[in-house]
Amino acid sequence: MTYRPKRVLVCGPQSDVKKYCFDEWAENVKNFTYPHFDVFIADNSLTKDFSEEIKQKGFKCINITEDSNRDSVLKRLATSHELCRQYAIRNNYDYMLHLETDVFPPIDVIEKLMFERKGIIGALYQLSDDSARMPMLNTISSDIEDYRVATYGKYNNYLIKGKPVKTLSAGLGCVLIRRDVFTKFGFRHIEGAKWFPDVVFINDLYSKKKPYYAHTGIICKHKNSNWGVFGEDYN
């Protein structure tokens, strides 16, 4: 039997509001040590200018502006996530590393996550700013059916043990998703709900009892900016 290396699509949504760190992000991704990966970016900026800059970096990029420039930020985000998933399906990737463009993992992140042989496993990163900084790590008691009754961030520091742990979610900032999972679970927007696409996606996983693992030994830098630039307008 001939061995075929697993193909990985590094992908995620992008917007010109994250332009401040894209050059650094692109350089980090280009230094990834796993040899069999490609990059695809779904740009939801309101103009095509930034997507052209992304292409000049050598990355495959599609801008969704023409079809969805009247949509809310949340809906454009969901569309971007879903375009990444569909691209991975159509092009027969074995894994997708969903990597947001302000998250900076170690350059061997693909190998380390793949080694754990999980259907979905995320690396750890921090949320919020300054003294409010806390890990993107959510848990829930196994006897609670409503996933919204979850324990967040700083209350879960005890789970950070330098190894994979079963959890509710570690977000979509840096998560490796195997093909048997991303072909079954898509990204979607719920009209009227102020839920980001990662919340809806995790809810769908939880409702189908699909376990999500967080590798607490892999720490990413998160150079996040302020979503407040949208005020309450992102819905």
For the chain, the average pLDDT equals: 84
- Residue 205 reports pLDDT greater than 60: yes
List the Cα angle 136/216/141 in 5-degree steps.
65
DSSP H helices in the chain: 22-30, 49-56, 65-68, 73-90, 109-115, 179-182, 197-207
Mean pLDDT calculated for residue range 180-195:
88
181 within 8 A of 119, measured Cβ to Cβ: yes
179 within 8 A of 95, measured Cβ to Cβ: yes
Q: Where are the domains of the chain?
A: 8-225
Q: Tell me whether strands 8-14 and 95-99 are parallel, antiparallel or unpaired.
A: parallel
Mean pLDDT calculated for residue range 121-132:
79
Mean pLDDT calculated for residue range 164-170:
86
Name the DSSP letter for residue 131.
G
d(CA 197, CA 99): 14
Confidence grade of residue 143 (pLDDT, cut at 50, 70, 90): very low
Mean pLDDT calculated for residue range 58-71:
76
Q: How many CB atoms lie within 10 A of CB 190?
A: 14
Mean pLDDT calculated for residue range 85-98:
98
Give one word for 192, left, alpha or beta, with left for phi > 0 and alpha for psi -120 to 50.
left
Topology, domain 8-225? Spore Coat Polysaccharide Biosynthesis Protein SpsA; Chain A (3.90.550)
- Residue 145 reports pLDDT greater than 50: no
d(CA 126, CA 43): 23
The verdict on pTM exceeding 0.75 is: yes
123 within 8 A of 219, measured Cβ to Cβ: yes
User: What pLDDT does residue 203 have?
Assistant: 87
